[in-house]
Structures are given as C-alpha cells and as structure tokens.
Structure 1
Amino acid sequence: MTDNHSTALAQLWQRLARVREFSFTASNGPGSATDWRGHARGDVEVVAGEQQVLFLESAHFTHSDGRQMDMRNRYRWTLLPESVRLEHLRRAEPVLLFELQPVTAHGFRQVAPHICGADEYTAELLLHDNEIELIWQIHGPRKNERLHYHYW
C-alpha cells in the first residue's frame, strides 16, 4: 500500500469516529422495478473502539410521494490492515456489505462487489474536507438503484 493510501485509511478511520449526522438519498434508474426513492436526514450515534466503529443511524425517510417513515440502520466499520470492512447489523448475523480499499489519497472503492441473490452491490467512498460521501449502486434483474450517503 502506498503512503497516500495508508494516509487515506488513517484519515477515514479518525473521521468515522467523529460522525454525528447523515443524509441519505435513494434513487432508481431505467429498468428498476422498485419504488425506493426519497431522502432522509438524521443522527448517528457512534460507538467507537480501537478496531471497530458502530453507526446507529436514525432518521425520518421521506418518500418521493411524500410518505414518511422511520429509518434505522446499524452499521459496523472494522479497520483491517489495508481496508475497512462495512457490515450491516440488521439481523442476528452481520451482513458483509463491502471491504473498501483506498484507490486515491481521498477515494475508496469496494475490493469485490457484494452479491445478494441476483443483485450486485458496488460502492465508492470519498473523503471531503467536511464530510464523508458513500455511494452505493445496486444492479440486478429488477434493480437499478443508487444510495447516496453524506456523513459529517
């Protein structure tokens, strides 16, 4: 791993522990058979350890048609030697979403796509001066979705 990549990983790890808020936008593209469109803005309770950071997210999601619902997610970030692992803690067993590895001084990309049934999930993470941006793409026979997170 280059020095820039090691620095990016160290910066991301430090900044994850300082996150307190997030925004989320869901959109879908041509061919999507889902109706997952809308946005949310909410709080992140962070539980930080030496090698793991838990994100307990809560917000009100506003669907594109105006319907509102509570949104809660639990994510676990784990620091690995050359990447960070992101897991969804929705069920009894954690679901591995991505291992994100630095590809530039401020950018990360999944090491391998996450496969869920016939759907493929990919992700990019960008470190900006005042926020962390995480963009997921989901492609499959019935899906063409984009999930766009901003953390600060």
Structure 2
Amino acid sequence: MDSDWQKVLAQLWRRLAGVREFSFTASNGPGSATDWRGHARGSVELEAGERRLLFRERAAFTSSGGHKVEMQNLYRWTLLPESLRLEHLRRGEPVLLFELQPVTEHGFRSVQPHLCGEDVYSAELLVGKSQLELIWQIHGPRKNERLHYHYW
C-alpha cells in the first residue's frame, strides 16, 4: 500500500478516535423474513490504545412499530498496515466482522464478506465532513437488511 493510502487510513483513525455519539437506522428489503426496522441514537464511550479503539455503544432502539428497547454493543477497531479491522466483542470473545480498505480518499469497503451461518455481511464506510457513515448489508435465506450508522 502506498503512502497516500496510509495517510487516508491515518486520517480515518483520528476521526474514529474522536467519536462520542452515533445513530443508526435498520431497514429490510424484499425477501426479508425479519422485522428488523427502526432507529436508535446513543452515545459511544471510547477506550483508546495505540492501534485499538473500543466503542461501547449505548442507545435506545425504537422499532418501526414504536417499541423501545435499550441496546448496547462493544466493538473493537484495530488499525492494521493496509486496512482497518472491526470486531464485535460478544461475551468477551471477538467476532471478526470486516476488514475495511480504502477505495477512495473518503470511502472504504470490506475486503471480503463476513459469513455468519448462511448470512453474508458486507460493509462500506464513508468519511464526511462532520460524520462517519458505516453501512452494513446483510443477505441470507431469511435476510435482506441494511444497517446505516452515523458516527460523530
């Protein structure tokens, strides 16, 4: 990876280290058998290391039917020489979700899909002036879902 892409990664890393809030919208498309639709807004408690960031996300999720659920997630971001790794820490065990590589100065894409049973996850991350957008796509026999995160 040339030094220009490493600069792009370094800039994204600095932006991630400044994140304190997030929101997301969950939606599903044709063929989905889930009811994973709604939105959330919450806070990110950040724990920073040299090449690792822990995001403790807490929010109230409101389903499309108006039902509210408290939610929390623990994500670990790791800065690698040519990419950025995102893992979900479940019960203390890391589950690799994505390695994101730069494809443009302001855009990153998952290197390969994450497989969870028969479901396939992919992602892209967009760097905007005031926020970061992480967009997940989940496809499987019962799923056609999109999670659209905004971090600032």
Fold shared by both chains (TM-score > 0.5): yes
- Unpaired segments ≥5 residues, structure 2: none
User: Residue in 2 aligned with 1:58?
Assistant: 58
Contact in 2 for aligned 1:86/1:96 (Cα 8 Å): yes
Mapped partners of 1:84, 1:139: distance in 2:
23
User: Residue in 1 aligned with 2:87?
Assistant: 87
Q: CA RMSD in A?
A: 0.8
- TM-score normalised over the length of structure 1: 0.98
SS at match of 2:136: strand
Contact in 1 for aligned 2:26/2:147 (Cα 8 Å): yes
- Unpaired segments ≥5 residues, structure 1: none
Quote how far apart the aligned CAs of 1:57 are: 0.3
Quote how far apart the aligned CAs of 1:6 are: 1.6
Contact in 2 for aligned 1:58/1:70 (Cα 8 Å): yes
Counterpart amino acid of residue 123 in structure 2:
A
Mapped partners of 1:111, 1:25: distance in 2:
23
* 1:21-57 Cα distance to aligned partner (Å, 9 max, x none): 0001000000000000000000000001101000000
* 1:79-138 Cα distance to aligned partner (Å, 9 max, x none): 100001000012331100000011111100001100000000000001111111000000
The number of residue pairs the alignment matches comes to 152
Identity within the alignment, %: 73
User: Residue in 2 aligned with 1:124?
Assistant: 124
> Are 1:98 and 2:104 counterparts?
no
- TM-score normalised over the length of structure 2: 0.98
